Amino acid sequence: MTFYDFLQLDETAQAIMTWELGVHIAERSQGGRCFLLYQINSDESFYVEVTYYSVQNKIKKIRAFKSLRPLEPYLDEIDLDLF
């Protein structure tokens, strides 16, 4: 699966692909929201951020990206000893 194939999927299919293909890298919380970061390595490597409302037990948003800038909020959470 390529990055652009992923973007063409609806949110439900994106969630399924993230759970099946993604490697959980980090998570963070902010204002009642939990942000889960995954890396997907298939035809090409990209990241997926899942915004989850824990109180409502609901996914609010799934965002895929290839650039490194959106990783900045997670840098303190990523354990580089694992790599």
Residue 64 lies in a domain: yes
pTM: 0.86
Domain count, the chain: 1
- Residue-number span of the structural domain to which 68 is assigned: 3-75
Phi/psi for 13 (5° steps) reads -65, -35
Q: Which residues pair with 67 in a beta bridge?
A: none
Residue 80 lies in a domain: no
Task: List the 45-53 sheet strands across, edge first.
Answer: 22-30, 33-41, 45-53, 58-65
Distance in angstroms (rounded) separating the CA atoms of residues 6 and 47: 11
3-state secondary structure of 14: helix
Q: Which amino acid is at 54?
A: S
Residue 11 lies in a domain: yes
Residue 49 lies in a domain: yes
Tens of pLDDT, residue by residue over 15-72, are 999 999 999 999 999 888 999 999 999 888 999 999 999 888 899 999 999 998 998 8
Residue 83 lies in a domain: no
Residue 81 lies in a domain: no
Binned at pLDDT 50, 70 and 90, residue 81 comes out as low
